[in-house]
Amino acid sequence: MLDEIAAKPNAWNHRHLLDVDDFSPEEFQLVFETADAMREILARPIKKVPALRGQTVVNLFYENSTRTRASFEIAAKNLSAEVLNVTSTASSIAKGESLIDTLKTLEALGANIIVMRHNLSGAPHVAAKYSKASIINAGDGWHAHPTQALLDLYTIRKHKGNLNGLKAAIIGDVRHSRVAHSNIWGMTRLGMKVTVCGPPTLLPYGLDNPGGLFPEVRVETDVEKAVEDADVVMALRLQRERQQSGLLPSVAEYVRRFQVSQERLKRAKSEVLVMHPGPVNEDIELAAESAYGDKSVINEQVQNGVAVRMAVLYLLAGKQGEL
């Protein structure tokens, strides 16, 4: 399979990975097949291939994230890239250095790919305009998190084969969730039927408006109805600051009305996949027994994340290296 992937004509058209909103179904397919090949590498005793040898991948994180940074770092090292971690706490970014200046510097230092997390929506798009290095958006504000969507879709595909026609319920703070936004783009593009559910204050305005971005998305405020007959139930992390900012009257009320519980999951299909981008607030947005139960694929999401990120790095690097 590795040979096949390396030999395939390149359907990949992106110099950067900013979101999945402009992905064709063929591009999704290419990422999935490349990730399949990367999983073969991950199954070996020594998980290292020379594909990106001599290339430098920079993790430029303006927000902390154990999971995403570690996942990219491991993925890049598995491909033999050099990894440089630059975080806002451990660097002089605090000195008031401009984003563009930082990017120019990283390029001049030899960065080939810059994995960037930023608290401001759109920052990676600005970066991409000025950067000769490839930018991967590892999460920007409330906007997008494309590699998370790709690994979620890949995880669903591993279990269900074809995504077309599957029903997904995304439950929680959809309004502020870059994970939800990128998943909605990907799921709808690949033919899935998406229902979002949460308190009205945490749902985007006009999501299912006929003239809106996602006319095909169903909005539901009753969680029992939302999960009905679902193939996938994705719970979103509830940020405590939503309560402080007055968008959420109480956590107890949220739990009562929207928690994804074992009881509520009975309404979904019997083979439902329970997903969460992590880290889980146990027994808040997701019951602990559901998070660790037999329908949960949360750990697989993390595992697949490494394979999907290896695939993305490999494709952005032009597939020129040896696998």
Nearer to a second copy by Cβ, of 78 and 195: the residue is 78
Nearer to a second copy by Cβ, of 22 and 322: the residue is 322
Report which secondary-structure segment, H or E, holds 127.
helix 123-130
Cα–Cα nearest to 277, from 173, 123, 193? 173
Binding marks (x or -) toward a second copy, 29..48, rule CB under 8 A?
-------------x-xxxxx
Report which secondary-structure segment, H or E, holds 182.
helix 178-189
Establish whether 240 is an annotated binding residue. no
Q: Does 89 bind a second copy (CB under 8 A)?
A: yes
Nearer to a second copy by Cβ, of 206 and 279: the residue is 279
Q: Does 57 bind a second copy (CB under 8 A)?
A: no
Q: Does 93 bind a second copy (CB under 8 A)?
A: yes
Binding marks (x or -) toward a second copy, 201..240, rule CB under 8 A?
---------------------------------------x
Binding marks (x or -) toward a second copy, 259..278, rule CB under 8 A?
-------------------x
| Residues contacting 42, CB < 8 A, separation 6+ | 78, 306, 307, 310
Q: Percent helix, strand, coil in the chain (nearest 5)?
A: 40, 15, 45
Q: Does 293 bind a second copy (CB under 8 A)?
A: no
Establish whether 218 is an annotated binding residue. no
Q: How many CA atoms lie within 13 A of 24 on its CB side?
A: 7
Cα separation, 106 vs 133, whole angstroms = 9
In this structure, what are the phi and psi dihedrals at residue 87, rounded to the nearest 5 degrees?
A: -120, 155
Nearer to a second copy by Cβ, of 77 and 225: the residue is 77
Cis peptide leading into 9, omega within 30 of 0? no
Q: Does 91 bind a second copy (CB under 8 A)?
A: yes
Going by the DSSP 8-state scheme, the letter that residue 237 receives in this structure is P
Q: Does 120 bind a second copy (CB under 8 A)?
A: no
3 state SS of 136 = strand
Burial label, 228 (beta-carbon count in 10 A; 0-12, 13-18, 19+): middle
Q: Which parts are annotated binding residues for L-aspartate?
A: 95, 178, 237
Binding site for a second copy (CB under 8 A): 42, 44-48, 53-54, 56, 64-67, 69-71, 73-74, 77, 82, 84, 86-87, 89-98, 101-102, 104-110, 240, 278-282, 299-300, 302-303, 305-306
